[in-house]
Chains A and B, each alone.
Chain A
Amino acid sequence: MISDQLFFTGINVLLAWSVYIGLVTGSLSFAQGAFMAFGCYGAGVLTVKFGWPLLPACLVSAILSAMIAAVLGYPALRLRGVYLILVTIGITFCARVALENIDYVGGVGGFGGMRGADLNAVIVAVLIVGAFLLWFSFSPLQRICDAVREDDRVASSLAINVTFIRLLGFSAGAAIAAIAGALYGHYMNFVRPESFDVLLSIYVVLYVVLGGTNNMLGPLIGATLMTLLPEYFRVLAEWRPTVFGLAILAMLLFRPLGLLAFRLVTAHASVSAPRKSGSL
């Protein structure tokens, strides 16, 4: 059963990172459940109905999800803060209801027959995405994203295309979530639209909040802790939402600015002077 636990940990880490990459550009997305569903159903259709191998199906569904995210995000990302949260929650609901009404992929009954993903596939995916994020956090792109997140007006005055950068973050997040969804589907062999509930999106965002949004390790730690700990402590498993909620509250209370008000601790230690920063 240890491999099951590690598998779900890997999936949750991927999802947490997909939220993180959007947050880096300052957009908090609750649509991760929807993009996971796109990835899962997209890859599932390719492997089951068209007989593709898993890897290309995964990649194609990730690219498709990124494109869907770009189309949905282009108008949505003009909105910020509370409005963006509302729209992304709406996207998650719409995706679920839409999938429940498409008979081609089984409707409410669910969609099955995918197989082929195992623990190794997830480990490889986590390593690749992790390496990408590591490269990203040392690249100039990270600082462009920081600028966009902290103050988009200043960023655009520095000739940064704010819309493009935010769209890039949103789409990259969608692609990562889609890969997580594809692997999840091919491991479980059978999924239902209700697996990709809005509650899932909420949980994933809270993983990131718990772990911290300052760097790529935060989401990794948050997701790993919240997936693995309940497996080893009976009490935690029984009271999971309560313990989780209280942990989030404690985190937020003991860091009064909130984890989302970024303390600039980038990979470059020299600029780690804490400062009060703008809202999302």
Chain B
Amino acid sequence: MLVGLLINGLVSGALYALVAVGFTLVIGVLDKLNFAHPEVLMIGGFVAVVASGLPPYYAFIAAFATGGLLGLVVEFAAFRRFTDADAKITAGLASMAVGLVLTDLTQKVFGTESVSLPIGGGWLSRRFQIAGVEFLNVQIVIVLATAILTGGLHVLLQRTRVGRQIRAVAESPVSASLLGVNVLRVSQAVFFVSSALAAEAGLLLALRSGAASSDIGLTFGLKALAIMAIGGLGDLRGAMLGGLVIGVLEAFMFHLGLGRLSELTVWLAMIVTLMVRPRGLFSSGTHGLEQRA
């Protein structure tokens, strides 16, 4: 029972982490808050609806590509013009407007009700037991996919040329561009990667709940924003840990019969964290490479 609860919490925590990592990547590198991020997450769920007839890995590839392309669109529409530090809030508001448009267009295509996926009873919802603990296949898929994606992100940031450039821009955009880094390409790469992760998270979320709905952006997505703040703005490790911790915490609160009050957990935790330690829990306060990106 307890283990099952823990696993449930870890699975939703993994999804939170996947979205929060995207938020934190944008804010860590470009110092901007991307409010269109939750809507990309939401659209990832609808990719699952569209691709439900195909073999599952097509859905994952499609979600990755859709999310990435949407990220490029968001970057172009809401962030390209607002690069200087003064326009931080303006860029946030512009991305909020893009988010409104994305939500509305999605609702025009798929309707405002949630669309259920035709996968009930399939392979994903089958269960198996290891040492007396029941697992759902979809839980394994979510954990594996999250591990692969965040592992891939780590490799991208630490081992590749693009990753080195991203870290350079995170340190200082001006010095990076003086050293020949194309800051525009880097910010496009950041938006591509972070939005692709969000769309994958949306896909996984839809697979888990068996339905895609157009309002998860404002519920699940904004919760991930709060988790990002708890972990520390721009801190990848913090976003991962924060996601897992909050996921488990919520599962236990829910189990204790607090019902919808457990929705308060993450927001109260965020408000308290920001009051006491505005830099976030895990950020050690230095802007070293490891901390920021």
Residues of A within 8 A of B (CB): 28, 75-76, 79, 81-83, 85-87, 89-91, 93-94, 97-98, 100-101, 108, 197-199, 202, 205-206, 209, 239-242, 244-246, 248-249, 252-253, 256-261, 276-280
Contacts and interface: CB of A to CB of B under 8 A. Distances in A.
Given A81-B88, A197-B218, A258-B82, A245 B33 contact: no
Given A97-B260, A279-B87, A85 B33 contact: yes
Contacts of A94: 264, 267-268, 271
Nearest to A279: B86
A197 B226 CA distance: 16
A245 B226 contact: no
The B contact surface, by secondary structure, is: helix
A248 B94 contact: yes
Nearest to B229: A86
18 contacts: A82-B33, A83-B229, A85-B89, A85-B92, A90-B267, A90-B268, A90-B271, A101-B261, A198-B218, A202-B100, A241-B101, A245-B100, A248-B93, A249-B94, A252-B81, A256-B81, A257-B87, A279-B88
Nearest to A259: B90
Nearest to B91: A258
Contacts of A75: 275
B225 interface: yes
A79 B103 CA distance: 30
Interface string B262-291: 011001101100110010000000000000
A113 to B, nearest CB: 24
A252 B93 CA distance: 9
Give the residue among A86, A197, A202, A259 with the most B Cβ atoms within 10 A: A86
Contacts of B78: 249
Interface of B: 27, 33, 77-78, 81-82, 85-90, 92-94, 96-101, 103-105, 108, 218, 222, 225-226, 229, 233, 259-261, 263-264, 267-268, 270-271, 274-275, 278
Nearest to B105: A242
A261 B97 contact: no
Nearest to A250: B97
Contacts, number: 136
Contact of B261 (A97, A205, A258): A97
Given A85-B33, A242-B101, A279 B89 contact: yes
Contacts of B218: 197-199
A242 B88 contact: no
Given A76-B275, A199-B218, A253-B81, A260 B101 contact: no
Give the residue among A76, A241, A257 with the most B Cβ atoms within 10 A: A241
Give the residue among A240, A258, A259, A261 with the most B Cβ atoms within 10 A: A258
B96 A202 contact: yes
B94 to A, nearest CB: 5
